[in-house]
Amino acid sequence: MRGSTVRSVRCTMPAVMLLVVMVLSGCGGTQATNTSTQPVASETTATVTPTDYSNPARWLSADTTGTKKVDVFYVYPTAYSRTSTSQPAFCAVDNPQMMKGAQVSFQQQATAFAPLSNIYAPYYRQVDATYQLAQPVAQQNANIQQAPQVDVTAAFEYYLQHYNKGRPFILVGHSQGSAVLKFLLSDYMKSHPDVYKRMIAAYVVGQSITPQYLAQNPHLKFATGPGDTRVIVSWNTEAPVVNGTNPVIQAGGIAINPITWTTGEATATAASNLGSIQLDPNTRLPVLDKNGQIARVMNLADARVDKTKGVVICSTVNPAQYQSPFPQGVYHLQDYPFYYFDIRANAARRIQTYFAGNKGN
């Protein structure tokens, strides 16, 4: 990315460790079973000291040129997983394991927006994946409101003051990153309506958006079509049959179809998908074509909203080929890869709508 300070985003990582780190995402809505009982720190949002984002090393990506007319502020999914309960529940902002996982996630997800925007992505302190999923929803939210929310809010404020220069922006997250964005939307945007007016959309993927959340935050609204702006866009992807419980969804979640960008239950065929990507099984990085660009895979993934479950159903792939520590049929790692080029095209459309003057009112 020209003019950016993307730091080693093409790194590799041992496949087994990376898979565990990235799949056990701390954004869920159901209580998981786990023997990890170490309590988290007793800090609150008011007492956590934020990370200093004037330090360039605290940014995974910070496009200092700002040549495009739109920004993306990206918050990556869980990339920290402690190997023993004697380790802290919250990692340091320069934890090497977390930074490597963040770099891989950037390639899988944020690059979908790269042709359209200047991308800004802070490193932030995260809560351990396994610990987080072992907690009830209320404690999960409390954990997010500690260091993760404090850091991301501080980074967002630094971005606005030093990088943004008044441009409209898109929020992009996944899993724990989306859990943090939910609080940025509910708290920061409510207190800063002037900033919220410049938000084109928020892709809060891999995290359930419920009617209760929207009722508690009437300044927010969920997307209903492919071109509306100042809206939340969200989905969690599953197979028609899941062999177990999906730990990263909440009852009543609202989902949008990432091919048609509507909330109806009609199936969008794999043929109508603009293109998926495949991930290298060893590095988890996107597979490249002969020109060194991310390869487009056609006719792979269909999409259908299941309003009862609050998820998007993909029926055209073999669940056995997408194994992970999640129950078979939970495609959490594929929320972006299955619909990568549809996401890019949809962001372009929402940007066009924004500049045409239709703010979705």
* Of the candidates 161, 59, 158, 170, the residue with the CA atom closest to the CA atom of residue 114: 170
Task: With cut-offs at 50, 70 and 90, classify the pLDDT of residue 27.
Answer: very low
Tens digit of each residue's pLDDT (9 = 90 or more) over 273-319: 999 999 999 999 999 999 999 999 999 999 999 999 999 999 999 99
Task: With cut-offs at 50, 70 and 90, classify the pLDDT of residue 45.
Answer: low
| Per-domain residue ranges of the chain | 15-355
Distance from C-alpha of 335 to C-alpha of 23, rounded to nearest angstrom: 12
Backbone angles phi and psi of 101, in degrees to 5: -60, -40
Q: How far apart are the first and last CA of the chain?
A: 34
- Per-residue pLDDT for 13 more than 50? no
* Of the candidates 24, 205, 44, the residue with the CA atom closest to the CA atom of residue 131: 24
- Per-residue pLDDT for 147 more than 90? yes
Tens digit of each residue's pLDDT (9 = 90 or more) over 239-255: 999 999 999 999 999 99
The DSSP annotation for 269-307 comes to: PGGG---B--B-TTT-PBPB-TTSSBPPB-S---BEEET
> Coil, strand or helix: which one is 326?
coil
Which percentage of the chain shows pLDDT scores above 70? 86
